[in-house]
A and B are shown apart, each in its own frame.
Chain A
Amino acid sequence: NAGVTQTPKFQVLKTGQSMTLQCAQDMNHNSMYWYRQDPGMGLRLIYYSASEGTTDKGEVPNGYNVSRLNKREFSLRLESAAPSQTSVYFCASTGAGFSEQFFGPGTRLTVL
């Protein structure tokens, strides 16, 4: 099992460009999450999907959209990137009981 995979690993964008971060899990988990990590601020929840077909906002949703394409895949879209979105983005998933979350390797995004 690959666990949680994310693409791309690195990305550099110019202000105003758009992009989609991809996430997939092969653990048959119902719930998936997108976080951003900035120095000194821990991980902050952007959006989550409790189950296939549902999505909801987390702590810092502004400037992002998500799609739960199917049970395996949960994508994060930046429609018009801003320098403030320079960060490391992690996708995570969890199974029934909402205990441990499994994280992907992350996407390191720089917006110039």
Chain B
Amino acid sequence: GQQVMQIPQYQHVQEGEDFTTYCNSSTTLSNIQWYKQRPGGHPVFLIQLVKSGEVKKQKRLTFQFGEAKKNSSLHITATQTTDVGTYFCAVAGGTSYGKLTFGQGTILTVHP
């Protein structure tokens, strides 16, 4: 099935610093999704990217899909304590039915 590597595993930042997490695949992806999970909570969908080179923004969050559709990134500008949590990328399986393969996640800690 699809494999996706997500780095870094952990990131500690001071409030106000930027943060980026990356997902990489050895195969071309049909699409990629991003989820956020607050400590003790459940994953919550952030966005889906479909097109090569796509860039989408949600306030301080910028999502990119690589030109070759093999990698993606999530960048947060000027982190806030509310950004704390684990960020996951997820890719669709080789077959249909919405099966997702999740990256290992990046745990973000923001120090005030």
User: Hey, which bits of chain A sit against chain B, CB under 8 A?
Assistant: 31, 33, 35, 40-45, 48, 50, 56, 58-59, 90, 92, 94, 98-106
The contact of B42 among A33, A40, A106, by CB within 8 Å, is A106
B40 to chain A, nearest CB (A): 9
The contact of A42 among B42, B92, B102, by CB within 8 Å, is B102
In the bound complex, do residue A103 and residue B103 qualify as a contact, i.e. CB atoms below 8 Å apart? no
| Residues of the A chain whose Cβ atoms lie less than 8 Å from the Cβ of B48 | 99-100
Supply 6 further A-B pairs (C-beta < 8 A) apart from A59-B101, A94-B98, A103-B44.
Answer: A43-B88, A45-B99, A56-B97, A59-B1, A101-B33, A101-B98
Alpha-carbon distance A58/B98, docked complex (angstroms) = 12
Which of A31, A92, A101 has the most chain B CB atoms inside 10 A of its CB? A101
Given A103-B42, A106-B42, CB of A98 within 8 Å of CB of B97:
yes
Tell me the count of chain B residues lying within 8 A, CB to CB, of chain A: 23
Does B73 sit at the interface, judged by CB under 8 A? Answer: no
In the bound complex, do residue B102 and residue A31 qualify as a contact, i.e. CB atoms below 8 Å apart? no
Does B100 sit at the interface, judged by CB under 8 A? Answer: yes
User: Hey, which bits of chain B sit against chain A, CB under 8 A?
Assistant: 1, 6, 9, 33, 41-45, 48, 88, 90, 92, 96-105
In the bound complex, do residue A43 and residue B96 qualify as a contact, i.e. CB atoms below 8 Å apart? no
Alpha-carbon distance A56/B97, docked complex (angstroms) = 10
The contact of A98 among B1, B6, B98, B104, by CB within 8 Å, is B98
B56 to chain A, nearest CB (A): 14
In the bound complex, do residue B104 and residue A103 qualify as a contact, i.e. CB atoms below 8 Å apart? no
Alpha-carbon distance A106/B102, docked complex (angstroms) = 17
| Residues of the B chain whose Cβ atoms lie less than 8 Å from the Cβ of A42 | 6, 88, 102-105
